[in-house]
Structure formats: structure tokens, C-alpha cells
Amino acid sequence: MNPKRVVITGIGLITPLGHTIEEVWGNAVNGYSSASPITRFDATEFKTKFACQVPEFDLEPFVEKKEARRLDLYARYAMVASTKAIQDSNVVIEDLDRENCGVIWASGIGGIETFEDEVTSFVKGDGKPRFSPFFIPKMIPDIAAGLISMKFGFHGVNFATVSACASSSNAIGTAFDFIRIGREKIIICGGSEAPITRCAIGGFNSMKAMSENNENYLTASRPFDVNRDGFVMGEGAAALILEEYEHALRRGAKIYAEIIGAGYSADAYHLTAPHPDGLGARLVMKNCLNDANIVPEDVEYINVHGTATPLGDISETKAIVDLFGDHAYKLNISATKSMHGHLLGAAGALEAAISIFAIQNSVVPPTINFETPDPAIDQNLNLTLIKPQKRDINIALSNTFGFGGHNVCLAFKKY
């Protein structure tokens, strides 16, 4: 059986860079830093006091007030982004065979705010186990997928992918697989995360994973810079509508791009650190190229994982040089986390969307906040520093890597 072609026909966003496609892409191209002092809680005593937060938005057009009280913030973000994506796709729900429409939604952590609130209330109470009946449904990371399927009546495949920071890239890659083998016609996929809480900030601080550059928070996310000191926490959601190509044509859908490959690998090395030689990163990109039936020279742009951690940036650039050889120096590379922060389980979906916009607009978004080169990173690479660069992009890769050694690489092609 010949595999089906799969295209992206809708995108929905709620992110630190904005709530619409135009806002997100405009801010990404213009090198806007979305970092700001944390307002969700009093961060005075925390080592990190800033994050990339979602600007205020009106939830009511997407979720009724009564229902919203029963949803963790991560699930609210999921409902907003998925609804926006469906609206953007111009699909008529009633015209679909909804037995062949599914949802694969990701979150690395799920309802951590709900967990934190419920446990804190219990500890501060009289010791009697008084918990909300919505505690578990609000907390579990699969509930967003279920909620989305209920909203649109999609009866097809429905589950969550959880692989730390690679979660939403896994969701997209898995949706791609389901459609290309003919199991589904349309899948809403992506991810959401709401980790700007005391537990999450405190936990990542204890691991020394996040930047503590509170005096210079606007420029704290600085991938590839020798003075980088960790990632900047982000939050939000990104949703993509993946659709079987012929199905999209029949309904006259607009097509953003085609997804042509997905690669997976494991570092099999360390709980949180990447392999120092980038072996897992190299393998996942190689697997993606093989899956897409392309060669390194076919790729013009890589939106790298690029978290601004001391070890991660070095290992990823080593992997690119090792796999792409001389062509590595002809590529554009950029780390958009320098602008929107690290959305953890939602990062891959947002970066996939930005990669698609780059293809559409023939512009590579920049890596901002760079000041001082790191001698451990090959300075002959085009890291697209500070300013965007115009370039015709036919194929772009998007990398995401997660704690536990989970690696995913997605390949998108101009339509």
C-alpha cells in the first residue's frame, strides 16, 4: 500500500509571542523577547523570578465559564489552540466522517497547578482527605485529548503522548503516521503546558536547568552564547490540523505545508543530560531524513531544540556538523526558544508551526540575545544571529529533545 500524503491545513496558537498566527510570526521574525517577571505567584524567594508568560486573553469564546472551572490551565490552553486550529482550517465539522477524525494531544506535565493546589490545601488542612472530585480529571495529562474529542465529536484515535520536552513533536509524528497508513483522515495534534507554578519553577531550579539571570531577564534565553545559564520557562499551546492530502483537496482546504518525515531516537545515556557527542541527536535527524526519503543537501533550515543549556547546545550543533558534513555550513539554524522560552511538552508543536511559517514566508527567524561566542560551538555555522534572514526554504527540520533521552525530528516541505 502506498503511503498517503499528509498536509497541514490549520494552525491554532496561544503563546508568549501572541494569540494569533500573525502575532506569533511577526514577533518571531522581529526578534521579540517575551520574558517578563513572574506574575502567577510571588517568586521573591525563588532563584528564577521570570518566565515567558501568555498575555491575557478572553477564554469565554472557547470554553464556558462553568466548564473552565473544571479544567486545569494546561487544558484551557489546549481548548483554545485546538478551537483556533479548527476555525483556521475552515473545515465543516458536520460534513466530516468523524469516525475517521482523531486527536493526539501532548503535555509533558499535565495539570501541575491543580496537583499543587490540591496537595497544598490538604497539607494545610486538618488532615482529613477532602479533595475535589475534579482533582484527578483536571490533573492527568491525557484529559486534554479527551476534551478536544468531545468538543468536536471526533471518534477516531484519541490519546496523549508524554515524552517530556519532545511530547508534542511525538504527537505530530504519530498523527502523521496514522494518516499516512490510511487509519485517519484528519487529526488535531499538538500540545499544551502550564508550568509557571511554584512546584515547576522550584523543581527546575533545583536541577540547575533554568536561567537565573534575573537582572537581564529579557536576554536571559541566549542559545549558543558562552554565558548561557539555562532555559527560560514558557507556557501555552500550539495545535496543527494534519489532514490526508486528497481529503484536503476535495474540500478545497488551504494548505500550509506538507509533512514528509518523522524521526525518533533515544540517547540511552543519562536522566537529564544529552549525549555529549550528540549521538541521539544525530540519529534522530538521520532517521527523519531516511523517513522523508531525502538527503542532507535537501534541507535549508533547522529549527533546533536550542534551549540555551550549557551541554545541550554543544551536543546538538556537534550532531548537525557530524551528519550534514560540508552542507552544515550552508544551512540556516536558529533557536526560537530565545524568544518564546521553553514550552516543555508544547515546545515542539510551536516550533513546528514557526518552521512552517518560515517555509511559507521565505524568512528564517533569528536566534536573539547572542553576544559572546562559545569556543565549543562551531562558529562557522550560520546560527541566524540577532536578525532574520531571507531565504527560499523548500524543506525545514524541527528538533525536540526531552529529559530521559527522548528525541524527535520532523520534516516539513513547501507546498
Q: Which residues are catalytic, by number?
A: 165, 305, 342
Burial 154-190 (b: 16+ CB within 10 A, else e): bebbbbbbbbbbbbbbbbbbbbbbbbbeeebbbbbbb
Q: What's the CA angle centered on 16, arms 339 and 63, to 5 degrees?
A: 160
DSSP for 258-271, written as a single string? EEEEEEEEE--S-S
How far is residue 180's CA from residue 7's CA, in Å, rounded to a whole number?
10
Task: Count CB neighbours of 269 within 10 A.
Answer: 14
Task: Count CB neighbours of 3 within 10 A.
Answer: 11
Query: Cβ contacts of residue 39 below 8 Å, gap of 6+?
Result: 53
Helix (H, G, I), strand (E, B) or coil at 158: strand
Cα dihedral sign for 356, 11, 294, 385?
positive
Q: Name the nearest CA neighbour of 193 among 161, 151, 228.
A: 161
Query: Cβ contacts of residue 281 below 8 Å, gap of 6+?
Result: 265, 274, 275, 305, 315, 316, 318, 319, 320, 399, 401, 407
Q: What's the CA angle centered on 94, arms 88 and 96, to 5 degrees?
A: 80
